[in-house]
Amino acid sequence: MAVDLSLLRTFLAVYRAGTLTGAAEQLRLSQPTVTTQLRALEKQLDQQLFQRLPRGVAPTPVADELAAKVGPHIDALAKVAERGATAGEFARPVHLAGPAELITARVMPALASLVASGLQLRVTTGLADELLSGLVAGRFDLVLSTVRPRGRTVHATPLTDEEFVLVAAPSWARRLDVAERGPSQLADVPLLAYAEDLPLLRRYWRTVFESRLTRMAALVLPDLRGVLAAAVAGAGVTVLPRYLCADELRSGALVPLLEPAVPPINTLFLATRTAPASDPHLATIHNHLVHEARTW
């Protein structure tokens, strides 16, 4: 039986987005239209493709099999349509997303040569969960994630490990002896964080001091670059990724208060909707970032 290509395209969008709303946004259709097309396909195949859930849909085994069969072909046709008659390696803008600090400190310098060579880049910053949702929905081509992406529709490549460092300005470091006396030295020192729940500080306390941090932050600023600036100015103690404060540590503007034998680390991932090798347009950028990350 011949199946309308537009129905398969709608099916694949719903399968990957996990919601009718997400698929509608990606396809620029109304949700009722997506629902109608999905029902038409199910009627043609005489098979149920999704189970309706309170939030979103869950694919049936039939849908898993169909997506595996048609997905690569629909993607290939979409790439041809996107390129159109335009020749050249970078035929369309690439939408990249990730943490503001990492994008600013590492990714932009790494991609500068590609932009100079013709890469059209559009960048969005934000938190990992919302950016990964945007990737699945088709709003982004690549996402740099501080958490391991989950789900059958996302391909994730480990990019690099970020090491966390407990730091303060020299004026604080001269008054503290954390290496000898432990976290009790920090009981009355202002803590600087990028979120109210002190994620980096709590993780450091848990993994290095093997204790629970129950204090509130003196400063909460939702940008680690601002937290870094406050620490350099002597506002208090914080935990930062080493890549972000490497220059300040070298210059002495910041001092590591502790150098544990096994410092806390977190793996950063580069995520795409399809295997990078299947899309030459993205493969160049993906491979370039993986190569550059070796020096981060």
Q: In the chain, where do the E strands start and end?
A: 50-52, 57-59, 94-98, 121-125, 142-145, 155-168, 192-193, 219-220, 238-241, 255-256, 265-272
Q: What is the pLDDT of residue 294?
A: 86
Q: What is the pLDDT of residue 103?
A: 96
Q: What is the pLDDT of residue 218?
A: 98
Regions of the chain where pLDDT drops below 70:
1-2, 79-91, 277-278
Domain spanning 162-264 has what CATH number?
A: 3.40.190.10
Question: What's the CATH fold of domain 5-83?
Answer: Arc Repressor Mutant, subunit A (1.10.10)
Tens digit of each residue's pLDDT (9 = 90 or more) over 224-282: 999 999 999 999 999 999 999 999 999 999 999 999 999 999 999 999 987 776 677 78
Q: What is the pLDDT of residue 86?
A: 43
| Range(s) of the chain covered by CATH 3.40.190.10 | 94-161+267-295, 162-264
- Backbone phi, then psi, for 88, in 5-degree steps? 105, 160
Tens digit of each residue's pLDDT (9 = 90 or more) over 48-70: 999 999 888 999 999 999 999 88
Task: Say if pTM beats, i.e. exceeds, 0.95.
Answer: no
| Cβ atoms 160, 295 nearer than 8 A | no
Q: Give the DSSP letter string of 116-163.
A: HTT--EEEEE--HHHHHHHHHTTS-SEEEESS---STT-EEEEEEEEE
Query: Cα separation of 30 and 77, whole Å?
Result: 23
Tell me the pairing of strands 192-193 and 142-145: unpaired
Q: What is the pLDDT of residue 3?
A: 73
Q: What is the pLDDT of residue 82?
A: 56
Question: What's the CATH fold of domain 94-161+267-295?
Answer: D-Maltodextrin-Binding Protein; domain 2 (3.40.190)
Q: What is the pLDDT of residue 109?
A: 94
| Range(s) of the chain covered by CATH 1.10.10.10 | 5-83
The alpha carbon of residue 264 and the mean position of all alpha carbons in its chain are separated, in whole angstroms, by: 19
Query: Cα separation of 116 and 236, whole Å?
Result: 40
Query: Cα separation of 130 and 22, whole Å?
Result: 13
